[in-house]
Structure 1
Amino acid sequence: MQTVVSTPIELLDASDELSGMIRSSDIYHHYFEARQIMLEDEEAKRLIEDFNQHKEKFDEVQRFGKFHPDYSEVTKALRIAKREMDLHESVSAYKKAERSLEKLLTEVSEALAASVSPNIKVPSGNPYFDNSSCSGGCGSGGSCSC
């Protein structure tokens, strides 16, 4: 059944209903549980903190790029810390659940946009997971037809 919305208040109410449906989905519940498990995991906390410290050092060194004397050492340490963090079970499960939720939100956004007009593009913010985006940008001969 299609609901006709005639006022901005009704539209906001409908969007609240849609967000409630998303929050009651299995995908959201899996995401929420994975997030809680990761936030309560002491080893995950340590790995995330370690990664953030390496990232801060990298940001300082990045200003000078490979001309900084510690660039290679700091870059390597950052990659190692990221790999250790990403491979940890609770962090990995959280990231997987997060990608599933992002995919659901992108699909809902694309469905909403397409129902308004087939010409509306919805950026997902992640070109690796966005199958409907224009690859290469405008003017590159991609599939976006812009």
Structure 2
Amino acid sequence: MQRRLETLGLLARLQDEALSEQAQALTELQQQAAALTAEQGELARRRHEAGTVTMPEAMAYRGTFLAALRRENDRINTQLAQLDSEVDRQRDSVLESYQALRANEQLQEIIRAQARTEAARSEQGASDEAGTQGYLRAARRR
């Protein structure tokens, strides 16, 4: 049983490292999505500012500027959609790794409980044997 526990312990450490790496990758993806969302907010602010410009000299450039903002916003939306699917896949991967780690920990606990039960039975058997031997010695003396 000890070899099983050592093997499961090693497996648990490996699973924990994998889980940490996957969680880090998920965090990075979420940070990228947050940065894109912030960039999208900045574009919305700039679009609003461009809409309030009333100078006749700027009107000729306003349409081109707004079209460029729209293209940039579309690019960000595309990237966000891709990131969202990557985040979902990575989240599923983290969840699977976590479940595997928990299953390993539960298996270790089951094996430890079996070892404790077996040790208690062995101890009880030794105690019963000692009591029987003591009784037999006492009975022989009489």
TM-score normalized by the length of structure 1: 0.34
TM-score normalized by the length of structure 2: 0.35
Q: Which has the higher contact order (CA 8 A, sep 6+)?
A: 2
Computing the radius of gyration from Cα coordinates, the structure with the larger value is 2
Greater helix fraction, Structure 1 or Structure 2: 2
